[in-house]
Amino acid sequence: MKAEEETISEEEQKKLIMQQDIAIIKRMNDINHKIAVMSGKGGVGKSTIAVNLAVAFALKGYHTGLMDVDLHGPDVPHMLGVENAILQQSPLGILPLNVMENLDILSIEFMLPSKGSPIIWRGPKKTGAIRQFLSDVSWGKLDMLIVDNPPGTGDEPLTVLQSISPLDGVVMVTTPQEVAGEDVRKCVNMVKGLKIPVLGIIENMSGFTCPHCKKEINIFGKGEGKELSEELEIPYLGSLPLETQVREKSDQGKPFILSDQESEISKKFMEIVSKIENTISNKRGD
Ligand SMILES: Nc1ncnc2c1ncn2[C@@H]1O[C@H](COP(=O)(O)OP(=O)(O)O)[C@@H](O)[C@H]1O
Ligand SMILES: [Mg+2]
């Protein structure tokens, strides 16, 4: 990352942007499938889903990259237990961090001077950082790139949607509350407005089974995801329950899909992964 802004002429600036566009196109051409995970709302489980999606594809044998562009809340390294890692440089560019067989990751967290340093950047700087991720990171040949976005329709998701081309599509995450649905609706409209496919919507934190009486309690409500999918004419990928284990594992840096592949939530998640896999392979004729 550049430490300081340099003063350069408009002409020079245009040339640099063009060179970076070319570098991004070249890098992206080496990646077969690209998926962005988004939501209009924060705290709905985007990072949890992005991490587990990346792990699931890696387990299926896809050489996968996971790029965390949540510049203000980069949670991916913590969720994979590698928050103190340092990236290496190679003559081909910055090397992403290998975290397991078939899975490399990149996060702004690895580039901050110290843990807890906040990023206080305005729009153009954020756009610049993400474009630099895309142009300077040497992923090499990948089967799959998953991008974890911050909430909303701001600079980061917009840069991702405009710079990664072609994007197979967006996986939209919601929780069952009405407020989440309202925010997700805006996000879906932004993606559609850019003529990018929405691969589908996942309703996360959908119901909680009381460990004592085994009754289901719908803490955040239920069914908003399905209703939204019908209203917005996008596929419904499925729902995931609220589970203490998911949060605990995540805090310990262990994706739930790796901890117990036979659990109910892992099985539900793998069904969602298969739906996404079918959609993207049908579209490209793989
Ligand atoms: N299905 C779930 N059950 C329990 N906890 C969950 C579930 N999904 C996400 N969480 C937890 O909720 C919190 C927010 O999730 P996160 O993935 O960081 O959301 P976002 O990226 O949308 O802000 C995290 O602590 C995460 O572990
Ligand atoms: Mg997140």
Q: Which ligand is nearest to the CA of 266?
A: 1
> What residue's CA is closest to ligand 1, atom 5?
247
The token duo for 118 is: 């906040």
pLDDT 10s per residue in the chain (286 long)?
555 555 788 888 899 889 999 999 999 999 999 999 999 989 999 999 999 999 999 999 999 999 999 988 899 999 999 988 989 999 999 999 999 999 999 998 888 777 777 778 888 888 999 999 999 999 999 999 999 999 999 999 999 999 998 999 999 999 988 787 888 999 999 999 999 999 999 999 998 888 889 888 888 877 888 999 999 999 999 999 999 999 999 999 999 999 888 899 999 999 999 999 999 998 654 5
Q: Which ligand is nearest to the CA of 253?
A: 1
Q: CB within 5 A of ion ligand 2: which residues? A: 46-47, 70, 75
Is the shortest distance between the CB of 204 and ligand 1 below 6 Å? yes
Give the mutation target among 37, 44, 48 for probing the ligand 1 site: most ligand atoms within 8 A of CB: 48
What span, in angstroms and rounded, lies between the C-alpha atoms of 217 and 260? 23
The count of C-alpha atoms lying within 13 angstroms of the C-alpha of 155, restricted to the half-sphere facing its C-beta, is 14
What Rg value do the Cα atoms of the chain yield, rounded? 19
The token duo for 211 is: 């460990």
Q: For residue 4, give every residue at least 6 positions away whose Cβ sits within 8 Å of its Cβ, in sequence order, or none.
A: none
Is the shortest distance between the CB of 203 and ligand 1 below 6 Å? no
Is the shortest distance between the CB of 69 and ligand 1 below 6 Å? no
pLDDT, position 163: 95
Instruction: Tell which residue, 40, 39, 116, has the closest CA to residue 78.
Output: 116
pLDDT, position 256: 96
Residue 238: what are its φ and ψ, rounded to 5°? 135, 180
What span, in angstroms and rounded, lies between the C-alpha atoms of 105 and 100? 10
What span, in angstroms and rounded, lies between the C-alpha atoms of 23 and 139? 13
According to DSSP, the residues that pair with 95 across neighbouring strands are 88
The Å distance, Cα 76 to ligand 1 centre, comes to 11
Taken in order of first residue, the domains within the chain and their CATH numbers are 14-284 (3.40.50.300)
E strand or H helix that includes residue 65: strand 64-68
Is the shortest distance between the CB of 44 and ligand 1 below 6 Å? yes
E strand or H helix that includes residue 99: strand 97-100
pLDDT, position 5: 54
Is the shortest distance between the CB of 48 and ligand 1 below 6 Å? yes
The Å distance, Cα 111 to ligand 1 centre, comes to 24
Is the shortest distance between the CB of 149 and ligand 1 below 6 Å? no
Q: For residue 207, give every residue at least 6 positions away whose Cβ sits within 8 Å of its Cβ, in sequence order, or none.
A: 216, 217, 218, 219, 222, 239, 241, 242
> What residue's CA is closest to ligand 1, atom 25?
247
Upstream peptide bond of 77 is cis (omega within 30 degrees of 0): no
Is the shortest distance between the CB of 42 and ligand 1 below 6 Å? yes
C-alpha torsion angle, residues 245, 265, 51, 73 (rounded to 10): -50
pLDDT, position 6: 58
The Å distance, Cα 149 to ligand 2 centre, comes to 7
Instruction: Tell which residue, 150, 162, 166, 170, has the closest CA to residue 17.
Output: 162
To 5 degrees, how large is the angle CA 45–CA 50–CA 51? 100
